[in-house]
């Protein structure tokens, strides 16, 4: 009888939720089997969407590679209960993503490369404000998805670092550590949409990250584009956008909702985008 009881206990024991390293201002925990999120008291959020390996193969260097599945999990429209109406009124949406540990062939785990679709309410391909909550990340950005990709930039970021993807730029977020999950939050436009077509037609973004045996990330050009160079840099504050880099981006909204309004209304800072340095 004792052995039967023990087997029953093991079968029903649920995986424990885990605390996220960086406090992003929302009471959310990581969930296992499958990876995802648990929303705590006072926080709303959807059932997370799983991004399978099959779904992202067209954007990978090796379309036939093995890797974790799901590759990453995304929850769009997360927030504190008291902010729900304000977020809807301002056309703002907060998303949270967890990328699995492991590798995709030689590549690190990453999100798909995409450009934001033009939001009908503002007529812009809207920007995104990204904040790393756990792990080591690289945010890759390229100016165009045509044969000439223009400026190509890879920004290194750790917990608490913030990165802006400008309007119209293609981008993806990469888990730079194969041995741990990576989590980030992001401000997006409520009428968000992801455009993949031209990137997939070129076999991915202009540069592919690869993980070396020592854990370093190197970059290989995608021959689907003309020759380009890649600039690697660290995350920086964005005083021109009112982002200091010292306050979590959700808390910044909570203290002053107007401070991140440029995400859904990029025309407010149109001059900034003309000369923007990622």
**Spatial strand order in the sheet of 230-234:** 170-175, 137-142, 152-157, 230-234
pLDDT digits (tens, 9 = 90+) for 70-81: 999 999 999 999
CA distances from 271 to 141, 237, 241, 266 (A): 20, 18, 11, 10
The DSSP annotation for 56-83 comes to: HGGGSSSTT----SS-EEEEES-EEGGG
DSSP-H helix ranges across the chain = 2-12, 53-56, 84-89, 197-201, 249-255, 270-274
CA distances from 80 to 40, 75, 197 (A): 10, 14, 34
Residues of the chain with pLDDT under 50: 1-10
Residue 11's pLDDT is what? Answer: 52
- Partnered with residue 137 across adjacent β-strands are 157, 175
Question: What does DSSP assign to residue 8?
Answer: H
Taking alpha carbons only, the member of 98, 75, 130 closest to residue 243 is 130
Residue 135's pLDDT is what? Answer: 98
Residue 5's pLDDT is what? Answer: 42
Residues 63 and 51: beta-carbon distance below 8 Å:
no
Q: Number of helices and strands (H, E) in the chain?
A: 6, 23
- Partnered with residue 210 across adjacent β-strands are 218
Taking the model in full, what pTM does it have? 0.93
Q: How many CA atoms lie within 13 A of 140 on its CB side?
A: 27
Pairs from 82-85 (Cβ < 8 Å, separation ≥ 24): 82/42, 83/253, 83/254, 84/44
pLDDT digits (tens, 9 = 90+) for 179-232: 999 999 999 999 999 999 999 999 999 999 999 988 899 999 999 999 999 999
Taking alpha carbons only, the member of 89, 109, 92, 91 closest to residue 100 is 109
Residue 33 burial (C-beta neighbours within 10 Å; 0-12, 13-18, 19+)? exposed
Domains of the chain in start order, with CATH, are 16-274 (2.60.120.10)
Taking alpha carbons only, the member of 3, 45, 277, 40 closest to residue 155 is 277
């Amino acid at each position: 009888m004792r052995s039967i009881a023990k087997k029953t206990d093991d079968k029903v024991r649920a995986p424990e939720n885990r605390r996220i390293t960086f406090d992003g201002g929302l009471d959310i925990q990581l969930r296992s089997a499958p990876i995802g999120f648990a929303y705590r008291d006072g926080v709303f959020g959807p059932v997370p969407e799983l991004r399978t390996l099959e779904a992202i193969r067209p954007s990978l260097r090796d379309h036939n590679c093995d890797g974790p599945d799901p590759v990453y999990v995304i929850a769009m429209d997360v927030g504190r209960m008291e902010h729900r109406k304000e977020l809807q009124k301002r056309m703002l949406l907060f998303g949270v993503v967890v990328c699995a540990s492991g590798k995709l062939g030689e590549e690190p785990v990453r999100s798909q490369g995409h450009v934001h679709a033009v939001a009908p309410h503002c007529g812009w391909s809207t920007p995104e404000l990204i904040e790393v909550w756990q792990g080591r990340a690289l945010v890759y950005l390229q100016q165009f998805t045509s044969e000439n990709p223009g400026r190509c930039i890879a920004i290194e970021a750790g917990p608490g670092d913030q990165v802006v993807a400008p309007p119209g730029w293609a981008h993806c977020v990469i888990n730079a550590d194969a041995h741990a999950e990576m989590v980030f939050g992001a401000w997006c436009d409520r009428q968000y949409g992801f455009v993949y077509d031209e990137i997939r037609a070129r076999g991915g973004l202009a540069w592919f990250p690869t993980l070396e045996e020592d854990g370093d990330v190197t970059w290989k050009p995608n021959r689907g584009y003309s020759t380009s160079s890649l600039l690697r840099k660290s995350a920086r504050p964005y005083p021109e956008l009112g982002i200091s880099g010292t306050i979590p981006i959700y808390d910044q909204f909570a203290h002053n909702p107007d401070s991140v309004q440029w995400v859904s209304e990029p025309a407010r800072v149109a001059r900034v985008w003309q000369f923007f340095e990622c």
